[in-house]
Structure 1
Amino acid sequence: MNLKKYISKNYLLNDFAVIFYLAIFKLLLHLLTNTIYNFHRDEFLYIEMGKHIDWGYVEVPPLIGIYSKIAGDLLGGSLFAYRFLPALSGAIIVLLTGLMVKEMGGKRYAQILAAVSVILSPLYLRTGTLFQPVPFDQLYWLLGAYLLIRILNRNETKMWILFGLVCGLGLLNKYTMLLFGFGVFIGLILSVQRKYFLSKKFWIAGGISLIIFLPNLIWQHQNDWVVFEFISALGSQQLVNFDPFGFVLTQVFFVWMAFPIALLGLYFFFFSKSGKNYRPLGWIYFSSFLILLFLSGKHYYLGPTYPMLLAGGAVMIQRWIEKKHRHWFKPAIVGLLIFFSLGIFPYGLPILPFPQLEKYVKYMADNYGLAEALRWEDGKLHRLPQDYADMTGWENQVAHVAKVYHNLPPEEQGKCVLWCSNYGGAGAVNYYRKKYDLPRAITLAGSFYTWGPGELPGEIVIALGFDKDDFGNWQNVDLATTIKHEYAREEKMPVWICRNPKKTLQELWPDWKRYRF
């Protein structure tokens, strides 16, 4: 038997297998690191959504609630369980990146280069760690992009049906999927592929997307189109600090050493003869970039586009190497990519203890100009990346609240309501409540407001956060303790005990609607 010939044909060593192994590596990378830090503030909100399944929420469409239900009920509800789904999503993104390269004519080296670029990019390391709609948004964009390439490459118009299904599900996950749809529409108009507007299946795909998305539209109508109120609040509270230069600079940091490959991907789609067929992918990026820049969008909203660019760039690099017979470039490029990316792994993966992390990011900011990674939504530079500051102190906070609660007389415990100033605090209490024998917490923040104040009138309230002036409804307000977090966003959190209310929480709740954002 010719063993070499057998191995070369063996399915365990073909192109797909190699990309699959890289995807498994990506999955294992997250599974081994995703419990080092505590839950993120936003994760507590999404976990709570899994307990209130609906066709929509104040902040997001409904699918994250379904994912939360799956992780909570079927996978066990642990930190590892919730973060398994984004890790799996990240692995599939790596696989899809390799498949896109192959579909565009890229050989094994190009597939490996693109896949490794995605694995090493700080953005995808971060999003593959956190349970939130973002990694699933990236996945739906990439699924749509892969199907689009199949359509453009093979004229497989039947794929439009599946494309419509993916886009519809993507819209039920995150509204930014609209950017993808708009980019596809513009890309087809402005390219030789406009012929697909004459395809019946193209319009059927649009109808399928709309039908899938329709329940959320009905929910929005029934809830006074709260999404626009949320977007307005987001713009006035967070995006008001938008910096165009910071937006552009962050795009470079997101893919780090692979950014030149992404730029080559843009060139491939717009100016290369061999990439002309896939030009709509270039328009997806360019149109999304301009819209987000003009509307002051969050930096990571553009994240789903980079695997497309990296795929195109990898194809172009491989063809240049083969044309020039510079085959030694192949290991050199991958080696340099890995070498210069390992040094910034802590920005994407939560692997350093917080004291070491603080020293590390300060050193990188002072010596390598990476201060932008320390800029928060308030527009200011802080000592840790914002996501990491939101991933510490939660259980300690709940433990302090529990101590205050259990120091109350039994008759007051039965009347006590736990009220938090933000959804992170309320979600943390509700996640750890069984462990610490606590009642369910409430808050006015976002979707929590729609779930109401509960049944107790608020005769006794333990309030986490707030200023004393916020408690005009209670005649007796005492400071029970102050929780100190060395690295958390809220470094000091007062805990108040409020007694003798003038009105019940149920009476006040409708008037407090204006405070939910």
Structure 2
Amino acid sequence: MLQTLKQLYFEIRTPAAVPGTGSFAIASLAIVIDLVVTLSLFHLGNSIAISHTCGFIAAGSSLLILRFLGFDKTTVTITGDTSFQKTLSVLIYFLVQTAIRGGSIVSMNHFGLPELQALGLGILVATIIGSYSSGLLLSRTNHQSLYSSNWLSLGITLAVCIFALRLVFLGGMEVIPQEAYYWNYAQHMSPGYLDHPPLVAATIYSGEALFGHNAWGTRIGAFIYGLIFIFIFYRYARLQVDQTCAVLASVFALSLPYFFLGTGFLIAPDSPLALAWVMALYFFYRVLVNNEMRAWYGIGLAMGIGMLSKYTIVLLAPAALLFIIIDPQSRKHLLRKEPYIAVIIAALVFSPVIYWNAINDWASFMFHASDRFEEEPKFFLWMMLTNILAMVTPLPLLALPYLFTTNATVEDESLAMQVKSSIKSPFTPRVRLFIGVFLLLPMCVFAWNALKNEPRYNWTGPLWITLLPMLAWLVVHANRLRWHWSGWLLNKLTAPLLFLLIGLYAILLHFISLGLPGVDFPRGAARLVGWPEISQNILAIQQGLPASKNRVVVAGMDKYFIASKLSYYGTEEFLGNNNKLQVTGNHLFGDNSLMFAYWNPAEEFKGNTVIMLSRSESDLSDKRLKPYFEKLSPTVAAFPVYKDDLGLPEKTIREYYSRIGFAYKPIMP
């Protein structure tokens, strides 16, 4: 498999140091111009974002001028059949390669290189990476074998670009609050936790043991999970469709928003969950459709790993049972030993979580069964549908009608002649039943919950894995589909949407990591950026307090975002000089701070000084805080949030608020 895909990759790649020219000398000149312009602008006081973007534009402009003047006579073919497609190729190449440059620069800076050195070396590294990834967006060879197709070529191109973006930003983008929260798990290793099983904690712990406490070490496990995920997904897709469709399905499993962020970039329970989910589907398919009994043992392992990741995967069990009940050929499985051995394997793998719950009054199971939904019931089905559209786009929804029809393709002879040939769908009734029950039964559970509780945006993400091979097959054969309206939509929307998504990811990652030229961070970005600076400023407040024997504690005054980010960046690796912040949550004041209440019981901080940080001034009012302290600082102080590294100006994104309380007095319930 890998050898064939590698061969196809080198078949479509046009070797070039710099896309846009086949001349090594001219490519070298363009790189020199790029470096000179970039370093000069940075030396003059511009940000890294402005400097390297202008350098890249200058290099590209020089290539065009040299070609216009006749100095570069090498043949270069821009990808695309129409002017619009060629323009789109150039635009997306510019966005993706600019992002790869920005990610390379900021990652090297975060690994310890001074900004000037990171700027120069990052551009050179990004040029090499781009020649093997984003360059395919701009120019691909036309000499493709009949074995290769446009969809196959596009699929390979987008896949390598996505992996390049993930790789360069893995260590360059600040961890988001959820990642910082799970990092706190890894600082308190345990067989279980209140709100999630322990695999995400073990993953972060292992990554940082190898690479240290930084974004790369924190996220490397997610990247590895993503590699294994796409390998197994491709194998799953090949059980149903041919190579071209399997590659395109893999691109969907890389590029749709839930998968781009959740299965190979951000570290969260969804990273191992998605891997376990596709493993389980792969083995369930081999058991239920292909009748391979030994695959039951793989199901047991996959379900056990999934339950160590996130309890959601348990929904695959009733889906499998429903398939067995409906499908006469599968009912024999109930009389064999393999499924029951699979249950034992899953239970053994999952046993650490069972043990933790047993000694903690079944806290995690109760949290997910009832405590999580204590708020007043409301109708949120509309929100679930909105989340689906945001997480996987409307594309998979266009495939749903084909779960319920035997004849997916054109049958009329005159129509078949128009599309030159007829083709038989590989999705037999049993295959469609498999896809349907493993998608729709879990979906019904979430829909039932959304009738009275607010759904989370990522809950339904893994459910769509099972449908993606069918979606890819429908896209590749869009002009042969039974319902012409859906074929027309799939044919017209798929490629532009994939290009749009990868362009948006490039812009988003560059913006969060090092900003965009001339664009200010919005207020909402304060949750994502500027936290190394916030931690430094909190440390300055702490060091400015009068000397005292009492410990100083920092409390984040929300559920977990503030405390998680402060604890992540309030470490010696970011503060230096053996400095470290002691951070906890707002359970000190009777509110819910999830696992922080387990790790740091309020009574442990009796008599301590507490620095409180909040997004809302009202959280720090006298009325709320006076019962907990002998003394409070006179006023609530504005606390500006800003990002001032990488040459960015110190410009306030928004204001948080801080206050200091002395001699904390816990109020026991």
Normalising by the residue count of structure 1, what TM-score does the alignment of the two structures yield?
0.78
Among 422, 427, 441, which residue is 2:583 paired with?
441
Specify the alignment match of 1:368 in structure 2: none
Taking the TM superposition and a 5 Å limit, the aligned residue runs for 1:213-228 are: 213-228=350-365
Structure 1: which amino acid aligns with 2:629? W
- Are 1:60 and 2:60 counterparts? no
**Alpha-carbon distance in structure 1 between the residues aligned to 2:396 and 2:180:** 33
Tell me what 1:3 maps to. none
The partner residue of 2:662 within 477, 488, 499 is 499
| Correspondence for 1:378 | none
What is the rounded CA distance, in whole Å, between the counterparts of 2:351 and 2:377 in structure 1? 31
CA contact (8 A) 2:554 2:583 kept: yes
Q: Which amino acid aligns with 1:343?
A: L
> How far is the alpha carbon of 1:247 from its aligned partner?
1.4
Matches within 5 A, 1:49-198: 49-104=185-240, 106-127=241-262, 128-192=264-328, 193-198=330-335
Q: Which structure would you say has the larger RCO, counting Cα contacts within 8 Å and 6 or more residues apart? A: 1
Q: Supply the distance in 1 between the matched residues of 2:301 and 2:3 (Cα, whole angstroms).
A: 35
Aligned pairs (5 A) from 1:35-434: 35=171, 37-104=173-240, 106-127=241-262, 128-192=264-328, 193-231=330-368, 232-236=370-374, 243-256=380-393, 258-260=395-397, 262-263=399-400, 266-267=403-404, 274-278=427-431, 279-296=433-450, 297-316=455-474, 318=476, 336-345=493-502, 350-353=508-511, 390-411=527-548, 415-422=551-558, 423-432=560-569, 433-434=571-572
The CA deviation at 1:285 is: 0.8
CA contact (8 A) 1:90 1:135 kept: yes
Shift of 1:452: 2.1
Give the distance between the partners of 2:390 and 2:481, measured in 1 at CA.
Answer: 31
Change (3 A) 1:395 1:120: same
**1:476 partnered with 2:631:** yes
Check 1:288–1:266 CA distance in 2 against 1; reply closer, same or farther (3 A cut).
same
Preserved CA contact (<8 Å) 1:117 1:258: no
SS at 2:460's partner residue? helix
Alpha-carbon separation, structure 1, partners of 2:605 and 2:481:
74
Aligned-partner SS, 1:154: coil
Measure, in 2, the Cα distance between the counterparts of 1:401 and 1:269. 64
Report the residue type matching 2:496 in the other structure: F
Secondary structure of the equivalent of 1:498?
Answer: strand
Once the two structures are TM-superposed, the CA of residue 483 in structure 1 deviates from its matched residue by 1.8
CA distance in 2, matches of 1:269, 1:398: 60
Query: Which range moved further: 189-198 or 19-28?
Result: 19-28
Residues of 1 paired with 2:364 and 2:628: CA distance?
Answer: 30
The 3 A distance-change label for structure 1 pair 338 and 204 is same
User: How big is the shift at 1:402?
Assistant: 1.1
In the other structure, the counterpart of 2:93 is: none
Does 2:461 correspond to 1:461?
no
- Partners of 1:83 and 1:129 within 8 A in 2: yes
User: Residues 126 and 262 from structure 1, CA distance in 2 versus in 1: closer, same or farther, beyond 3 angstroms?
Assistant: farther
Structure 1 residue aligned with 2:600, among 444, 452, 455? 452
Contact 1:27 1:87 in 2 (8 A): no
Give the C-alpha shift of residue 494 in structure 1. Answer: 2.2
Contact kept, 8 Å, 2:234 with 2:247, in 1: the verdict is yes
Matches of 2:338 and 2:322, distance apart in 1: 18
In the TM superposition, what whole-angstrom CA distance separates every residue of 1:63-118 from its partner, at most 9, and x where no partner exists? 111012112212322112222222332333333332222112x1122112212222
RMSD of equivalent CA atoms: 3.8
Separation of aligned partners in 1, 2:457 and 2:274: 14
Task: Give 3-state SS (helix, strand or coil) of 2:174's partner.
Answer: coil
Q: Distance in 2 between matches of 1:343 and 1:21?
A: 14
Asked if structure 2 preserves the Cα contact closer than 8 Å seen for 1:261 and 1:309, the reply is no
Letter in 2 for 1:215: P
Matches of 2:477 and 2:257, distance apart in 1: 27
Contact 1:122 / 1:253 at 8 angstroms: preserved in 2?
yes
Tell me the distance in 2 between the aligned counterparts of 1:91 and 1:438: 35
Aligned-partner SS, 2:459:
helix
In the comparison of the two structures, how many residue pairs are matched? Answer: 467
Larger radius of gyration: 2
Structure 1 residue identity aligned to 2:599: W
Q: CA–CA distance in 2 between the matches of 1:73 and 1:335?
A: 47
The corresponding residue for 1:27 is 163
Could you state the TM-score of these two structures normalised by the residue count of structure 2? Answer: 0.62
**Offset of 1:273 from its aligned partner?**
7.7
Gaps of 5+ in 1: 1-7, 362-382, 513-517
Shift of residue 407, structure 1, vs aligned partner? 0.4
Q: Percent identity?
A: 19
CA distance in 2, matches of 1:241, 1:394: 35
Q: Deviations over 1:347-393 (max 9, x none)?
A: 656325368799999xxxxxxxxxxxxxxxxxxxxx88x8x663223
Does the CA contact (< 8 Å) of 1:97 and 1:308 recur in 2? no
